A and B are shown apart, each in its own frame.
Chain A
Amino acid sequence: MSDTQLTPEELAGQKYKYGFTTDIAMEEFPKGLSEEIVRLISAKKQEPEWLLEWRLKAYRLWCESEEPHWAHIHHPPINYQDYYYYAAPAKAAPKSLDEVDPELLKTYEKLGIPLNERAALAGVAVDAVFDSVSVATTFRETLAKAGVIFCPISEAVREHPELVRKYLGSVVPQSDNYFAALNSAVFSDGSFVYIPKGVRCPMELSTYFRINARNTGQFERTLIIADEGAYVSYLEGCTAPQRDENQLHAAVVELVAMNDATIKYSTVQNWYPGDAEGRGGIYNFVTKRGACRGRNSKISWTQVETGSAITWKYPSCILQGENSVGEFYSVAVTNHHQQADTGTKMIHIGKNTRSTIISKGISAGKSNNTYRGLVRILPAASGARNFTQCDSLLIGEECGAHTVPYIENRNLTSKVEHEATTSKIAEDQLFYCRSRGLSQEDAVGLIVNGFCKDVLKELPMEFAVEAQKLLSVSLEGSVG
């Protein structure tokens, strides 16, 4: 177990009050980022030399590059030297549900999260949580039997160095962008998944994730490899509100699909969005990319983004293998002062590659919601096809919706279609629902869920229901 993932005993033993007086010496991990800190992180994780070098290269690239400002987002300058890059001091974990903010519990109830999971999600010390450890063990055994590797990436570095070394940074190199470089230098932990040839992963990796993989830190790194003919469905995050004191998040996710392999990656992002006046909230700068390396491979991204003060995120597909397929299904909701600039890139390289983009943006309050997407068809991609549909829904008078599609087609035999609509929740729709007995908020929820149906149906079943409720909860107070 890595140092950032505290054991249940450690969690329970932490008694930091706000004064913070335990023996975890903060002097060792000062604020700020330097080559020394990168070395320290690597040393603490007992990483091999090659990974240290890899991190240092990323650090140098980060130093040389500049924070990007092309997205439609605004924030005060980020002082990168004012953050902790390793094990930020945690607040004391509550010991039971009685100590948890009742508002948080109310939200869990609205979302229909099972009682025995609520404590775990609220951050109650793990050993106090109903049998989550035994459940996790059962999952682990099932996966091992199928030959699936699913573990923290820090563990994979030790146990499967050949796989990690081969694939880490092969889809998102350290030099990719400012935030990817930052993540590569200081990544805390994350998940590693390897599905061997011909194996269909026997379970949704979501269920496991929800109970087990918390505290992966603000610089999460995920690497998923589906070997020939393999299939895996992975769900990141959960619908429960994520309470996190770290303001800056910069994750990297890399997916690799070989011949005839399929990866389905679903995200429900519900980080703290800040308060109604726009104070606080997470800055979420994420780089997610999948490489369809093999023939007939398929990568499908589904995301429901309702949280964070700022979302900067473009899950993309590099369609290299012949007949490979990329999909992007997205719902992005912004309320109050939230800002989202999100979309995808579909890079068609191989023959007869196909991509589908369905994006649903919902803006309420004083928020801004931008779809930004690139469809690039390279000269070799004969017979390539793309279909893009971007729909925006506005709630109220003070929000903004923006659509920024880039289309670059360099092959005459390919076909690109783009459709976009912008609409408002009409007063007559609300009145119609209310005259049938629905409350204003239920009416908004119903209309918004209808608007998002094409995306929500792509989510794993058990999350689709929660995601529907999440949309309603996120938009509470947005009308009237």
Chain B
Amino acid sequence: MLEIKNLRARIGEKEILKGIDLTVPTGEIHAIMGPNGAGKSTLSYVLSGRDGYEVTEGEVLYNGVNILELAPEDRAAAGMFLAFQYPVELPGVGNANFLRTALNAVRRKRGEPELDAVAFLKSARAAIKSLQMNEDFLKRNVNVGFSGGEKKRNEMLQMALLKPGLAILDETDSGLDIDALRIVSEGVNALRGPSFSALVITHYQRLLDHIVPDMVHVLAGGRIVRSGPKELALELEARGYAGVEAA
């Protein structure tokens, strides 16, 4: 369970998050929608521990632990996963090597045995198959020369292998064609279950046709201004954010 309580955060002198309260019970998928500049990406970075964001108030509990005190790698080990809006390129670093290093780092911290090359390849190939990806992916350098869609699929591959308890998808749908959108959604839906939760951050409603949320929250001006069932997304799509912001 993720509990965000009165979270305030700033970049430099500028306050971006102005007191966010949000609870995502285990097993549920919640969507966060909002206009540009509402603080959506800031929220995902604060949750995953990126430098440069100062939390001035509030706390974030994940399964009862205040994760704001943890380094990003320890949050990953605790089961959190951030799917990046713009996945980063790592020249010269092979995808398989990266995946295995990450997976074993997390497994070590979780007290699980590390995977050897053979065991890793077996699970990586299975994940690749289920995401309808080409095995060449493993040989290429991390995100280097990948199309937008390939980068997002690579995020899903990492997620499938790391098996997080909580996934934060930061505008994962931006720049995706309809096929890629479907595959990304299938990646999330495949993990869906009683021990998996997700926070799907998106500007548009269309992703939510594929990943159907249990709840929709509207983030505007650094606060959650409205929450409701999945139909809220359709309403926003029809009427825009102008109305909710004023509310």
Contact = CB atoms under 8 A, between A and B. Distances in A.
Interface residues of B, number: 32
A437 B48 contact: no
Nearest to A434: B72
A112 B89 CA distance: 29
A80 interface: no
A427 interface: yes
Interface in B67-120: 71-73, 75-77, 81-82, 84, 87-93, 97-98, 101-103, 105-106, 109
B93 A450 contact: yes
A451 B92 contact: yes
A434 B93 CA distance: 15
Contacts of A437: 73, 76-77, 102-103, 105-106, 109, 162
Given A427-B51, A442-B105, A446-B98, A435 B76 contact: yes
A446 B72 CA distance: 17
A435 B72 CA distance: 5
A208 to B, nearest CB: 29
A162 interface: no
Interface string A418-441: 000000001111011111111110
Nearest to A451: B92
B90 A450 contact: yes
Contacts of A435: 48-50, 72-73, 75-76, 81-82, 84
B174 interface: no
A435 B81 CA distance: 7
Interface string B36-76: 00000000000011111000000000000000000111011
- Could you say which interface size class chain A belongs to? 20 to 34
Nearest to A428: B88
A453 B92 contact: yes
Which DSSP category, helix, strand, loop or mixed, fits chain A's interface? helix
A442 B92 contact: no
A447 interface: yes
B64 to A, nearest CB: 21
Contacts of A442: 101, 105
Contact of B101 (A426, A427, A431, A446): A446
Interface string B133-148: 0000000010000000
B158 interface: yes
A427 B158 CA distance: 20
A442 B103 CA distance: 13
A452 interface: yes
A439 B73 contact: yes
Contact of B88 (A429, A440, A452): A429
A4 interface: no
A450 B98 CA distance: 10
Contact of B105 (A429, A438, A451, A453): A438
Contact of B93 (A427, A431, A446, A454): A446
The residue in B76, B93, B162 that gathers the most chain A C-beta atoms within 10 A of its C-beta is B93
B84 A432 contact: yes
A474 interface: no
A3 B101 CA distance: 49
A449 interface: yes
B101 A434 contact: no
Nearest to A431: B50
A449 B51 CA distance: 24
A475 B183 CA distance: 40
Nearest to B161: A436
B75 to A, nearest CB: 8
A54 B52 CA distance: 64
Nearest to B89: A429
A431 B90 contact: no
Nearest to B97: A446
26 contacts: A429-B90, A433-B102, A434-B71, A434-B72, A434-B76, A435-B48, A435-B75, A435-B81, A436-B73, A436-B102, A436-B158, A437-B76, A437-B102, A437-B103, A437-B106, A438-B102, A438-B105, A440-B73, A446-B98, A447-B93, A449-B92, A449-B93, A450-B91, A450-B93, A452-B92, A453-B92
Given A438-B105, A450-B91, 15 more contacts: A428-B88, A429-B89, A432-B87, A432-B90, A433-B98, A433-B102, A434-B72, A434-B73, A434-B76, A436-B76, A436-B102, A437-B109, A440-B71, A446-B90, A449-B93
Q: Which 9 A-B pairs have the closest CB atoms?
A: A450-B92, A450-B93, A437-B106, A437-B76, A436-B102, A434-B72, A432-B88, A453-B92, A437-B105
Interface of A: 426-429, 431-440, 442, 446-447, 449-454
